[in-house]
Amino acid sequence: MKKAALHNLGCKVNAYETEAMEELLRNDGFEIVGFDEQADVYVINTCSVTNIADRKSRQMIHKCKKLNPDACVVAAGCYVQNFGKDVVNELGADIILGNNKKNDLVEKVHEYFNNLGEPCGPILDCMDINDGNVAYENMVIEKDSEHTRAFVKVQDGCNQFCTYCIIPFARGRIRSREIPDVVSEVTGLAKAGYKEVVITGIHLSSFGSGTEFGLADLIEAVHEIDGIERIRLGSLEPQIVTEDFAKRVASLDKFCPHFHLSLQSGCDSVLVRMNRKYTIKEYTDGVNILRKYFSNPAITTDIIVGFPGETEEEFQTTLDFVKEISFSELHVFAYSKRKGTRAATMPNQITNAVKKDRSAKLIDLGNEKSKEYINNHVGQTLDILFEEKIRINGEDYFVGFSKEYIKCAIKATEKDYSNVILKAKAVGLKVDKEHLIVEI
């Protein structure tokens, strides 16, 4: 029996696709082993969101040849989609699979071993995914590496072309999965014991674009599946938040009131340079709609600091906006040039020292607001899906997430709370600063 090892780089969509490729290999008879073990086939699902991600992708591909010089090395995903044809000899990979070609993995691996010893060179399987006519590549998983939550990819591609982002070129134009296909997969996951699904995509808000269905229709369909008790969404664009959308999902008791609304900047002039498709007023209106239909929902976001031309006044505007919105969690990124994007050639690039200072200020503010949000739940009863037992300061706790995605911990007893949803009262941030301690 041949052995295969897989390694994922990048986002949750990549992670889902890596799980799907693992199942393809396992179903073909491969034994799946750890990535640091000797294997006959190594698969790296690459990322290209930043220059650093490119470098990590190259490093992992080279590492495989060191682990086993005779192994078949497969490089898949965004990095090779962008640059595979140009660096095929430099990579040293035996098979290069672009996006929308990952279902071909087993076929290409067999082709490689059947032609072993023949001077045929690397197998290159990439396609043009930017012509707008590419169909959705329907990958399916039966299990997930997560013990309690299963990520389900329902959408691919992006048409936004933000000036800092390479992903539209790597992932192609938007395309969506059929709702019956999603329902079929989630039904199988529910039978396998998963209680929560996280619906994700490259540009999830565009799900169903150009069809008669949309994201709310998908959520309602998943809500009907027996065994699934919680539905969570991946990252959203603020434009999706309308009165109709919020009203529909708020009526579903399985839906988790946790919204990751991508912001990137709290200043309109910076948003224009980023080619973001909304204003700060529109973003605020969306947040207010969510808070109208949900009681204290979690609003999380991403912000890029030090974007080309960002002045002190523009950065202060972002700080003020973060204070006003009171996000429950903030992910802060210092802007870095991305080859192939418009922002990389923009004038007035910000120095690393300034970006570091601004990042620190925003991170501190985000931590303050996050703590405020968590403390607002002290004394309340939360629905928590517990995942595993860990040791915190010398004591055993079961840890998991509330519907609002607050990390919670309950002191371990003889009962096993793994993959159990419990109602528990929040008593405060004790023991450590990361988990909200709860009691039955």
DSSP 82-145: HHHHHHHHHH--SEEE-TT-GGGHHHHHHHHHHTTTSS---EEE-----SS-PPP-----S--S
Domain boundary among the residues 375, 405, 420 is at 375
Residue 139 inside a domain? The answer is: no
- Tell me: do 54 and 168 sit in the same domain: no
Alpha carbons within 13 A on the beta-carbon side of 7: 23
Q: Are 157 and 276 in the same domain?
A: yes
Assigned domain for 114 exists:
yes
Q: Which domain holds residue 353?
A: 149-375
Helix/strand/coil for 68: coil
What DSSP letter does each residue of 200-263 carry, written as one string? Answer: EETTGGGTTTTSS--HHHHHHHHHTSTT--EEEE--B-GGG--HHHHHHHHT-TTB--EEEB--
Tell me the one-letter amino acid at 294. Answer: F
In a domain, 140, yes or no: no
The answer to whether the beta carbons of residues 130 and 159 sit under 8 Å apart is no
The domain boundary residue, chosen from 360, 375, 390: 375
Query: What residues contact residue 311 under an 8 Å CB cut-off, 6+ apart?
Result: none
**Which among 329, 349, 375 is the end of a domain?**
375
CA 7 to chain centre: 16
Please tell me the distance from the alpha carbon of residue 199 to that of residue 34, in angstroms, as a whole number: 27
Is 238 domain-assigned?
A: yes
378 closest CA partner among 329, 439, 315? 439
Which residue has tokens 């990958």? 139
CATH classification of the domain holding 111: 3.40.50.12160
CB contact at 8 A, 71 and 43: no
pLDDT of 117 reads 61
Edge to edge, what strands does the sheet with 123-125 contain? 31-32, 3-8, 41-46, 72-77, 95-97, 123-125
Asked if residue 107 is part of any domain, the answer here is yes
- Based on the domain organization, do 104 and 253 belong to the same domain? no
170 and 98 in one domain? no
371 and 395, same structural domain? no
Note whether 342 and 402 are same-domain residues. Answer: no
Residues 6 or more apart in contact with residue 317 via CB below 8 angstroms: 266, 267
| Residue 137 located in a structural domain | no
264 DSSP assignment: B
Note whether 317 and 362 are same-domain residues. yes
**Whether residues 259 and 345 fall in one domain:** yes
187 plus 224 within the same structural domain? yes
The C-alpha atoms of residue 236 and residue 219 are separated, in whole angstroms, by 14
How far is residue 193's CA from residue 282's CA, in Å, rounded to a whole number? 40
Q: In this structure, are 354 and 272 located in the same domain? A: yes
* Alpha-carbon gap, residue 42 to 61, rounded angstroms: 9
Q: With respect to residue 277, please indicate whether it lies within any of the assigned structural domains.
A: yes
Shared domain for 402 and 369, answered yes or no, is no
Looking from the CA of 280 toward its CB, the CA atoms found within 13 Å total: 16
Cβ atoms within 10 Å of 3's Cβ, excluding its own: 18
Determine the length of the chain: 440
Confirm if 426 and 378 have CB atoms less than 8 A apart. Answer: yes
For residue 135, being part of any structural domain is answered with no
pTM score of the predicted model: 0.94
Q: How far apart are CA 402 and CA 187, in angstroms?
A: 23
Per-residue tens of pLDDT for the chain, all 440 residues = 899 999 999 999 999 999 999 999 999 999 999 998 999 999 999 999 998 999 999 999 989 988 899 999 999 999 999 887 677 777 889 999 999 999 999 999 999 999 876 656 678 777 777 766 788 999 999 876 666 799 999 999 999 999 999 999 999 999 999 999 999 999 999 999 999 999 999 999 999 999 999 999 999 999 999 999 999 999 999 999 999 999 999 999 999 999 999 999 999 999 999 999 999 999 999 999 999 999 999 999 999 999 999 999 999 999 999 999 999 999 999 999 998 899 999 999 999 999 999 999 999 999 999 999 999 999 999 999 999 999 988 899 999 999 999 999 999 988 999 999 999 999 988 767 789 999 98
Count up the domains in the chain and report the number: 3
320: domain CATH number?
3.80.30.20
Is residue 291 located within the same domain as residue 310? yes
